[in-house]
Amino acid sequence: MNFDYTDDQKALKEEARRFLTAASPLTVARAVLENPGDGYDTALWGRIVEQGWCGATIPESYGGLGLGYVELCALAEELGRAVAPVPFASSIYFFAEALMLVGSEQQKSELLPLVASGELIGTLAVAEGAGVLTEARISAKVSGGRVFGTKLPVADGMAAGRAVVLAQGDDGGDTGLGLYLVDLIGEGVSREAVSNIDPTRGAARISFDGAPAELLGEASKGLETLHRIQERGAILLAFEQLGGADRCLEMARDYALERYAFGRPIGSYQAIKHKLADVFVKNEVARANAYYGAWALSTDAPELPVAAAAARVAGSAAYWMAAKEMIQTYGGIGVTWEADCHFFYRRARHLGLVIGAPRDWKRRLADSLEARVNAEKQP
Amino acid sequence: MNFDDNPQEAAYRATVRAWIEANAPDMSVLAPEERRPWQDKHKAIATVWQATKADAGYACISWPKERGGAGGTAIQEAIFNQEEARAGVQFTYFMTGQHMLLPALMEHSSDEASLARVAPAVRGDEIWCQLFSEPSSGSDSAATRTMAVRDGDHWVLNGQKVWNSGAQASDYGMVIARTDADVPKHKGLSAFWLDMKTPGLEVRPIKMMSGDSELNEVFLEDVRIPANQMIGNPGDGWKVVISTLMNERAALGSGTGLTWRDIMEVARNSPAFDGTTLEDPAFREWLADYYVGSEAIRLLSFRTLTALSHGKAPGPEGSAGKLLWATQTQELTNQAMDIQDHFGLIDDPEIAMLNGGFQHRFLWAPALRLGGGTDEIMKNIIAERVLGLPGDVRVDKAVPFREIPTGR
């Protein structure tokens, strides 16, 4: 039993923090905010690639480092803390995970080395406008090996070179949703940047008009497979959320110690102390659930779906609370463009929505809990 | 991060699980109304179980053998406690002594006659209670007014204590009294242990809103305590208080009682708009939120275990666990009644769901948020000791106790 990182993992995490403190100060995120371009900082991305982080959990045989998932969780926590404006989550937690989970040998050996080396950025292109993602809401179609339809929003959609697209298949009698690999640089693809709540993580509208689409994983099992991919990625995103929430609490605490009102630091008033204690408790709830998720992910435990949903629900709630209460603690200066608070407020919202809102994950969690209790009742 | 037992831990768990299965008392002999603490038959079962554990080396596992323990590890003790809770045979009668008071006694006293009281308490032959809080000394626990005056080889105590859990059935108590009113309040306190049958001591049960009477007032009138029963030296009382309170919060935060499984059962049996409440999306969202919080309580106990296994003391994070547990419990009981609609009103054990367990717990829940440190005190501890924010402004800290203003 060990409710903590190992010493080696702690060393990796400290090294990552040192690196990101130097390479990704909030001025880097600010530059992207003010001039979004493709929604990420290419120089920072290059330096992260040089660190080898993109290949952290990719096996060495595919050009990665073959580290464990807890190591990747540690990196995610630091990337979240730094509000790093890079497409790491889309490419590593989701695109690479999709390939490793259901990719064919050929797909893996073609694409994983490119992801690990940073030459290729990947993403998921699944949503089609407002609402919870259900089978009935997907109208993108694959016909004769080509995909037609529009995806909105696609996270890091301008940065990515390849996407995993959720679409209705009709090849060879296979109907139902499938996942398809599509080259975003090739024919039949048009895309445009779309302004979104967190410009430091770009978003796009991507239209497919006959782009070549290659089945990834089993036909007709697209939604089920997507959920499995998202569960794995949700745990990694929960660490980004935790890192961000922890930093919000630290910033609020530091500000409350420096700012004086009525002759005392505002942090000496119980109105502020108790607020920040509530944030601390929420962060501990997120940490406990994220750690459990990391364990489930690294051991492929049967608890993974429950642990992932719980980590996502707790991480989303904690980051939201920590970001908004940090601004409340800062007072007026906190709501200005000039202050750094809005990076966290924006990123908290981005992370909470980008793979489905907490409401959807609560539904999934309740479904899993009910299934667990029903299974226990079987004689 | 590893939430699995290592091979030794797994082997130990298997051993104790089998032992508990073979030896645990049969709770089904009790009628529903007898399945609550301080009912005679319930207490008799708990007492036999404690002795059975002690004989087999499963009582206070991490304590030294000469004090009645088993000389085991904190991890073993935690595993046994988990398995005991899992089997539904964990009782509260001995917890005040074993989790809070006796560890403090062993830490702060070197008097052999005092330490000799530990072993019988491990066996459950003797029950201990805490005599700390006073009518004017709740959250401000150093504001003790009970006075202790030296008289030859005794101390003579006069004053009043309150919220003394189990005092009506206790053999011994640990009491905090003021031995010097001319120094600031934290410095003039001393701790003692005493026989609850000492002349001049009177216990009066307090009937709580739940109808239970396990909390008491204790009046002390010229109560004479042998001088060797002072724990540590005069003026050490505050250190003893802090030891017991930290132990208490770590124990409370571990979480016991009704769970998400129980409310799921209620939801399954409660009709909603269409179908059952279990099918109601609003309830399912609530359930998910509740589960996430209750999981955190369970998982945070592993952090305490991790600290123990590395030979470290649990930190002030225990305050977060206690805060979370108390507030979650109150929410759970309220929701369990809400989803039954009109029928949630019924608390007759013969008719109500789960024998009215949620309704009974509902009436206890406010006390959980107060006892062992209120929500507000927990938040102060987190803000000050974890986050490093300044302490509250204190007008009484450097003032001799007898000059501190008193209100109601």
Mind telling me how many Å the CA of A67 is from chain B's nearest CA?
15
Mean pLDDT of B107-122: 95
Statement to judge: residues A152 and A64 lie in one domain:
no
Q: Of A190-199, A254-263, B57-66, B306-315, give the lowest mean pLDDT range.
A: B306-315
Statement to judge: residues A87 and A178 lie in one domain:
no
Q: Is residue A52 part of a domain?
A: yes
pLDDT at A192: 97
| Last residue within a domain, chosen from A75, A95, A121 | A121
A70 vs B1: CB contact, 8 Å cut-off?
Answer: yes
Indicate whether B252 pLDDT > 60: no
Q: Is residue A2 part of a domain?
A: no
Q: Is residue A16 part of a domain?
A: yes
Distance in angstroms (rounded) separating the CA atoms of residues B136 and B140? 8
Mind telling me how many Å the CA of B376 is from chain A's nearest CA?
7
Statement to judge: residues B258 and B222 lie in one domain:
no
| Last residue within a domain, chosen from A92, A121, A150 | A121
**pLDDT tens sequence for chain A (379 residues):** 788 899 999 999 999 999 999 999 999 999 999 999 999 999 999 999 999 999 999 999 999 999 999 999 999 999 999 999 999 999 999 999 999 999 999 999 999 999 999 999 999 999 999 999 998 899 999 999 999 999 999 999 999 999 999 999 976 565 799 999 999 999 999 999 999 999 999 999 999 999 999 999 998 899 999 999 999 999 999 999 999 999 999 999 999 999 999 999 999 999 999 999 999 999 999 999 999 999 999 999 999 999 999 999 999 999 999 999 999 999 999 999 999 999 999 999 999 999 999 999 999 999 999 999 999 888 6
Statement to judge: residues B85 and B138 lie in one domain:
no
Q: Is residue A54 part of a domain?
A: yes
Statement to judge: residues A79 and A189 lie in one domain:
no
If one counts the domains in chain B, the total is 3
Statement to judge: residues B258 and B342 lie in one domain:
yes
Statement to judge: residues B296 and B379 lie in one domain:
yes
| Last residue within a domain, chosen from A218, A234, A268 | A218
Q: How many CA within 13 A on the CB side of residue B285?
A: 7
Q: Is residue B196 part of a domain?
A: yes
Q: Which domain holds residue A85?
A: 7-121
Instruction: Dump strand ranges (E) for A57-145.
Output: 122-125, 141-143
Are the beta carbons of B251 and B99 closer than 8 angstroms? yes
B386 vs A309: CB contact, 8 Å cut-off?
Answer: no
Statement to judge: residues B381 and B331 lie in one domain:
yes
Q: Is residue B97 part of a domain?
A: no
pLDDT at B251: 60
| Last residue within a domain, chosen from B236, B264, B285 | B236
A288 vs B296: CB contact, 8 Å cut-off?
Answer: yes
User: Phi, psi at residue B20, to the nearest 5°?
Assistant: -65, -45
CB < 8 Å to B380, chain A:
270, 273-274, 277
pLDDT at B301: 81
Output the domain CATH number for residue B175.
2.40.110.10
Indicate whether B92 pLDDT > 90: no
Tokens standing for residue B283:
């309830």
Q: Of B24-33, B114-123, B155-164, B276-285, give the lowest mean pLDDT range.
A: B24-33
pLDDT in tens, A17-74: 999 999 999 999 999 999 999 999 999 999 999 999 999 999 999 999 999 999 999 9
Distance in angstroms (rounded) separating the CA atoms of residues B383 and A110? 52
- State the best of B264, B287, B292, B306 to mutate against chain A, taking most chain A CBs within 10 Å: B292
| Last residue within a domain, chosen from B236, B264, B290 | B236
Statement to judge: residues B154 and B32 lie in one domain:
no
Statement to judge: residues A41 and A129 lie in one domain:
no
pLDDT at B372: 84
Distance in angstroms (rounded) separating the CA atoms of residues A103 and A132? 26
Whole-number Cα distances in Å, B161 to A334, B141, B204? 48, 12, 10
Q: Is residue A105 part of a domain?
A: yes
Are the beta carbons of A257 and A202 closer than 8 angstroms? no
pLDDT in tens, B331-354: 999 999 999 999 999 999 899 999
Q: Which domain holds residue B261?
A: 253-386
B299 vs A292: CB contact, 8 Å cut-off?
Answer: yes
Per cent of chain B over pLDDT 70 is 97
Give the residue from A37, A138, A42, A53 showing the smallest Cα distance to A96: A53
Statement to judge: residues A113 and A151 lie in one domain:
no
Statement to judge: residues A55 and A180 lie in one domain:
no
Indicate whether B254 pLDDT > 60: no
pLDDT at B249: 62
Q: Is residue B399 part of a domain?
A: no
Per cent of chain B over pLDDT 90 is 70
Give the residue from B336, B351, B359, B343 showing the smallest Cα distance to B265: B336
Q: Which residues of A199-208 are buried (b: 16+ CB within 10 A; e: fewer)?
A: bbbbbbbbbb
Output the domain CATH number for residue A371.
1.20.140.10
Q: Is residue B242 part of a domain?
A: no
Binned at pLDDT 50, 70 and 90, residue B253 comes out as very low
Distance in angstroms (rounded) separating the CA atoms of residues B204 and B215? 9
Q: What is the sign of the dihedral through the CA atoms of B198, B202, B206 and B212?
A: positive
Indicate whether B288 pLDDT > 80: yes
Q: Which residues of B50-73 are buried (b: 16+ CB within 10 A; e: fewer)?
A: bebbbeeebbbbbbeeebbbbebb
Are the beta carbons of B376 and B322 closer than 8 angstroms? no
Indicate whether B359 pLDDT > 80: yes
Q: Is residue B322 part of a domain?
A: yes
Q: Of A20-24, B355-359, B396-400, give the lowest mean pLDDT range.
A: B396-400
Statement to judge: residues A213 and A262 lie in one domain:
no
Mean pLDDT of B61-82: 90
pLDDT at A174: 58
Are the beta carbons of B106 and B118 closer than 8 angstroms? yes
| Last residue within a domain, chosen from B210, B236, B262 | B236
Statement to judge: residues B259 and B381 lie in one domain:
yes
β-strand partners of A146:
A143, A212
B291 vs A310: CB contact, 8 Å cut-off?
Answer: yes
Q: Is residue B111 part of a domain?
A: no
Helix (H, G, I), strand (E, B) or coil at A51: helix
Output the domain CATH number for residue A193.
2.40.110.10
| SS3 letters across B338-360 | HCCHHHHHCCCCCCCHHHHHHHH
Q: Is residue A1 part of a domain?
A: no
Mean pLDDT of B194-204: 98
If one counts the domains in chain A, the total is 3
Q: Kindly state the DSSP code that residue B403 receives in the 8-state scheme.
A: G
Helix (H, G, I), strand (E, B) or coil at A3: coil
Is the ipTM higher than 0.90? The answer is: yes
Statement to judge: residues A204 and A231 lie in one domain:
no
Statement to judge: residues A251 and A209 lie in one domain:
no
pLDDT at B300: 87
Mind telling me how many Å the CA of B151 is from chain A's nearest CA?
44
Statement to judge: residues A75 and A176 lie in one domain:
no
Are the beta carbons of A184 and A206 closer than 8 angstroms? yes
β-strand partners of B206:
B215
Binned at pLDDT 50, 70 and 90, residue B34 comes out as confident
Distance in angstroms (rounded) separating the CA atoms of residues B371 and B132? 12
Contacts of A266-271 spanning 24+ positions with Cβ under 8 A:
A266/A329, A267/B383, A267/B389, A267/B390, A268/B389, A268/B390, A268/B391, A268/B392, A268/B393, A270/B376, A270/B379, A270/B380, A270/B392
Interface of A with B in 227-286 (CB under 8 A): 249, 253, 256-257, 264-265, 267-268, 270, 272-274, 276-278, 280-281, 284-285
Q: Is residue A353 part of a domain?
A: yes
> Which helix (H) or strand (E) element contains residue A154?
strand A146-155
Statement to judge: residues B232 and B260 lie in one domain:
no
Neighbour count for residue A132 (Cβ, 10 Å): 11
Give the residue from B11, B128, B16, B88 showing the smallest Cα distance to B261: B88
- State the best of A8, A253, A284, A299 to mutate against chain B, taking most chain B CBs within 10 Å: A284
pLDDT at B258: 87
Give the contacts of A57 (CB within 8 A, at least 6 positions apart): A64, A65, A66, A67, A68, A69, A71, A72, A92, A96, A100
Output the domain CATH number for residue B378.
1.20.140.10
Give the contacts of B213 (CB within 8 A, at least 6 positions apart): B38, B168, B205, B206, B207
Mean pLDDT of B379-398: 92
pLDDT at B125: 95
pLDDT at B255: 45
